[in-house]
A and B are shown apart, each in its own frame.
Chain A
């Protein structure tokens, strides 16, 4: 028989106490694992939503011209005579290595036209891609364009030009029907007229030229800078830039979730540690005569400490395994109440499993050190009392 056998026999033959100790720590570990799993899944969902919400990469013509501004985005207009992008460039974006991360490609041709004696910017767009990219767009009156001869008018443009759904407007000699008016977006879109991209190219004799491409990249699992490099590699005549505000917003959101789940997990581990601490302290008090006997028959303080720490190791190791199982299974029942749009998938994560068991063992051992050392220092005569 070795010291480990004393520890194991105590745990094996005091099933109720062992169950309580393992349960206490396992629940703490399980809650921390569940929180981390749900937090990560929520993170992914938020990232997915944010990735789809507006462009995070802009592709512009590579030009030395001074930039023109478009809603805070930098645009080198093809009107300045620089090399323009083409619709083929937009198609080539789908060939980059991380093409599966490209959620939306929204090419645009920006031209200036005159309507009712007022100069107005006309944007030739791919309407399905544009509506997917700008989820905040709402048609306040009328409806989305259904024909290539229909246009969508920004709120301010409609107001200044006194046009409403059903009216017609002349753009560079062509007649177009206003299908709808956009609700207030608070952006430069309010001052624009949106028409079908191919129609604008033809009407304004721009061939297959486009002014810029907006990309929504799903970058939850890839650095956006990599994708920018890939786009620049695929389009030698273009200049791709990350929209820093969008990226930083996503990173900030991700950090908030990460910190939140980390903070709560730490709190849970501390609570679990305190459960172990109090349980071990109570156990030492309960076993004071036994410890006194051990000392009387020749156990050193170190032997007592080792027996108690071996017990704590087994309890916390088992609690780590059980806790990981609880933490992995329970989110399947919790997640549906937290997230509806995104399907959570939980798989065995060896890093998380090892981390959970390691955290449990560290917490269990740390919480047991003080009671164990106190037990080792017990005066045997005080412990036995009968002598």
Chain B
């Protein structure tokens, strides 16, 4: 069994009596330490696939497991704990909390992590240093550029040292140069031992990954 393992996974959404399958019978495996790009056009189901791996939604059928943990068997609280311990999310829209400083945003995952009370600040400062933003730790998101906000989001994703980083279109809102810097960081993190799964529709970005999974109409067309 792969570190991230999907077996015959289907995810369908309902609108009234109509059923719309976003992912259909997908089976794939991602080994620990891989950098995988999930590519596909808009509406192909790639983000839904990421949400299944991230434990943000349950599969309609099939099994999604990470490190041998069947995500379908976890209750809401256990699923939250799983996300906190195993995953770091990097979103296209950054999703920084506007009333918290960069440092506080990075500290967020640690506020609910047992045993981190005394060291959360140091860990967050270290994460910000890794993304080159230690000097701007006291700034609010509104006082940072788009690229800097994405770097804060990356620092937040790695602060609790999760084995897996899930990035959803991480360069979607950035200019090419800043986007390249973000991809460099993801590559660095992968070299540091993190498993990275990145959703993108940009072929050039996908080339940064070690493997590309192409998905179309909810099905894997190349792996």
Contact = CB atoms under 8 A, between A and B. Distances in A.
A and B bound? Answer: yes
Interface of A: 1-3, 5-6, 9-10, 12-14, 289-290, 292-303, 379-381, 384, 386-387
7 contacts: A1-B111, A5-B111, A6-B108, A290-B97, A298-B112, A384-B91, A386-B92
Nearest to A377: B76
B156 A297 contact: yes
Given A296-B83, A387-B168, A3 B95 contact: no
Instruction: Give the interface centre of A298, A303, A380, A384 by most chain B CB atoms within 10 Å.
Output: A298
Contacts of B77: 300-302
A299 B84 CA distance: 8
Nearest to B104: A1
Contact of B76 (A290, A296, A300): A300
A14 B99 contact: yes
A293 B95 contact: yes
Nearest to A383: B56
B100 A9 contact: yes
Given A10-B99, A296-B56, A297-B156, 10 more contacts: A5-B111, A296-B54, A298-B112, A298-B160, A301-B76, A384-B56, A386-B168, A387-B54, A387-B56, A387-B168
B99 A13 contact: yes
B51 interface: yes
B143 interface: no
Interface string B14-26: 0000000000000
Nearest to B124: A1
A303 B99 contact: no
Q: Which 9 A-B pairs have the closest CB atoms?
A: A298-B84, A13-B99, A387-B51, A293-B95, A300-B80, A381-B56, A297-B109, A1-B107, A381-B57
Contacts, number: 92
A380 B56 contact: yes
B110 interface: yes
A309 to B, nearest CB: 15
A296 B95 CA distance: 11
B89 interface: yes
A9 B104 contact: yes
A300 to B, nearest CB: 4
Nearest to A14: B99
B40 to A, nearest CB: 14
B85 interface: yes
A384 B112 contact: no
A387 B169 CA distance: 10
Interface string B112-134: 11000100110000000000000
A185 B92 CA distance: 89
Contacts of B80: 295, 298-301
A297 B99 contact: no
Nearest to A13: B99
B187 interface: no
Contacts of B95: 289-290, 292-293, 384
A386 B51 CA distance: 10
Nearest to B77: A300
Interface string B157-174: 000100000001100000
A5 B135 CA distance: 22
